[in-house]
Structure 1
Amino acid sequence: MHITYTAATTAAPDSPNEDFFAVGDGWALVLDGAGRYPGESGGCIHPVTWIVARLGLHLSSCLSQQPEQPLTTIVRSAVEATMADHGSTCDLSDPLSPGAAGAIVRIREDRIDWLVVGDCAVVIDQGPKGCTSVIDDRVDHLPNAPIVEGQVRTYSPAYVATVRNKPGGFWVLASSPDVAEHALVGMLPGHPAATRVLLCSDGISRLTERYGLSWQDVLALHDSTGPDSLIRAVREAERSDPEPQRWRGKRHDDATVVVMRVAEA
């Protein structure tokens, strides 16, 4: 089995890139920083870019050095290591402590494993069998969630503090190793189980969630002109959107995509 990788990432206009990606021997990951709410520090002195980079470093190390460990174990170890990196400067008990959404895929000879937390996505192309998509959309199905109207439509921080990393709420990789046990995990047996696997942040998945493309459309666009074309398509759709305020979340967001192509050796 031979795996090749293509990837692209870019920040939202006039912002630092709070996304992160990494690839290794049979694995790939994408992280999407879960930043601060207006007027809230989250008890942490570090920029979101620092948190995402540290978490990405620890996940990459664990995936490379512990290839037989379950992905939930790897995530737990990486979150614990990231928490230790904060030292005593940060109050990680704050429910609004910055963190990240994440997607991880590991491809072996006989299976594909995945783990998704927060609003990242994994899409597995099985050729004639079609695409299987894994998206953690629990943040979009919170009961009676109050939306604050402003420059960005979002949930109120006071409400988020009651449902973030809580049963019945939604989960992000931040300051609780137990999040690993609440991730969406799965496995696809058999070989060849897939021809391509796509991982992305929601800056890319909005092509399907907001702008009407299918995942087959997204993969076809990638195959024709590469991963950067997906980012260009996102920006064009965002700029052409006649009513961007109808969406919850930012008009523009950091956008990251990794595609793993699987072939016989």
Structure 2
Amino acid sequence: MIEASGEREAGAPDGAAVLRGAQSRPGSSAPNEDLFLLGGTWALVLDGITRYPDDGCAHDVPWYAAALGESIADRIEGPLPLAGLLAEAIAAVNARHPDCDLANPVTPGATVAAVRWRDVLEWLVLGDCAVAWRDRAGEHRVESDDRLAALPGAPAEDLAGVKRWPVDYVASVRNREGGFWVAAADPGAAAMARTGTVPIGEVADLLLCTDGLTRLTDRYGRAWPEVLDLAFGSGVGAALDLVRALGDADPRPGTKRHDDATAVHLRFPGFASL
């Protein structure tokens, strides 16, 4: 297994996919709360949720993301479907810090995107990460979770110097029916992940990314074909460079200029990048 929050530019894991590039960049001088993990027949990205004050936990967000990633990796080569093993992984992390207040509505958590390939490619998205791929005919497909973006939200408050939704509002919508779902203390949230499969032979190039990169489409209006052209043709570093440049030039006040951003590009042998 490759575990990294930095960069991996080349190499080939054992199995059906070749790693073409993987990078994770912090959005500021604070520790990077994103993470990517790679194995012979699987890959995943995690985006730790920026911490709220008084979250009832003795551990920081990078600890939670690393612990969850490790727990997923321990199970992902087994027989369980991705949602089932994610539920087990959340429960396993709970067992590592039982003295923390896991019922706190803003207990540390993460969003997740994962793929596993055997006879088919399985994918899972929980929260605002994304899985995107291009098929042998050059058509693209994007799987993401837009439940957070679909919420009306609430007026932001200054919480420890960061503009955030009020805790009471988060408690009413996080891991709640009609709200949004993330990996935190509730293993049942895994059942709300978006999942699916695609024949492995149809996939040419695949991108896993956190919302620090999907800002290119969500915030800056770039079309997914353009983003995939850049990531698959020039490398994931070029895509991360672009989102940073656009953030530097963004005049909108009151929002986070840069977010932690992570991208993993896998190419499936026998197919040229299209």
State TM-score, norm by structure 2. Answer: 0.87
C-alpha distance after superposition, 1:121-170 (max 9, x if no partner): 1112114251111111111112x431216575542221011111111111
Structure 1 counterpart SS, 2:202: coil
Task: Find the counterpart in structure 2 of residue 235 from structure 1.
Answer: 244
Alignment of 1:55-70 (within 5 A): 55-64=68-77, 66=78, 68-70=79-81
Relative CO higher for 1 or 2, CA cutoff 8 Å, sep ≥ 6? 1
Deviations 1:95-119 (A, max 9, x none): 111100010111223x211111111
CA distance in 2: counterparts of 1:21 and 1:191, whole angstroms? 22
Query: How many positions carry a matched residue from both structures?
Result: 254
Q: Would you say 1:148 and 2:148 are equivalent positions?
A: no
Query: For 1:39-83, what per-residue CA distance to the aligned partner results, in whole angstroms no more than 9, with x for missing partners?
Result: x2211110101000000111111113x1x3200111011101111
Q: 1:112, 1:193 within 8 Å by CA — same for their partners in 2?
A: no
Q: Which residue of 1 aligns with 2:17?
A: 3
> SS in structure 2 opposite 1:113?
strand
Assess if the C-alpha contact under 8 Å between 2:87 and 2:190 holds in 1: yes
For 1:176-215, what aligned pairs fall within 5 Å after superposition?
176-188=186-198, 190-215=199-224
Cα distance, 1:191 vs structure 2: 4.1
Q: CA deviation at 1:2?
A: 3.0
Among the aligned pairs, what percent are the same residue? 40
* Whole-angstrom distance in 1 between the partners of 2:67 and 2:157: 33
Code of the residue aligned with 1:23 in structure 2: it is: L
1:168-211 C-alpha deviation (Å, 9 max, x unpaired): 111110100001111111111x3412101111000001011111
More helix by share: 1
Q: Report the 3-state secondary structure (helix = DSSP H, G, I; strand = E; otherwise coil) of the residue aligned with 1:139.
A: coil
Aligned residue runs from structure 1 range 36-55, under 5 A: 36-37=51-52, 40-55=53-68
Per the TM alignment, residue 244 of structure 1 is displaced from its structure 2 partner at its CA by: 4.8
SS of the aligned residue for 2:137 comes to: helix
Q: Is the 8 A contact 1:105 1:114 kept in 2?
A: yes
Runs of 4+ in 1 over 6 A off after TM superposition: none
Cα distance, 1:185–1:218 mapped onto 2, change above 3 Å = same
Note if 1:219 corresponds to 2:252. Answer: no
Residue 169 (structure 1) aligns with: 179
Gaps of 5+ in 2: 1-14
Matched, 1:160 2:201: no
Please give the residue correspondences for 1:11-50 in structure 2 after superposition, counting only pairs within 5 Å. 11-37=26-52, 40-50=53-63
3-state DSSP class of the match of 2:148?
helix
**Structure 2 residue 125 is matched with structure 1 residue 116:** yes
Amino acid at match of 1:148: A
CA contact (8 A) 2:232 2:265 kept: no
Gaps of 5+ in 1: none
* SS at structure 2 position matched to 1:56: helix
1:147/1:153 contact within 8 Å kept = no
Cα 1:82–1:225 change in 2 (3 A) is: same
Match of 2:94 in 1: 83
Note if 1:257 corresponds to 2:263.
yes
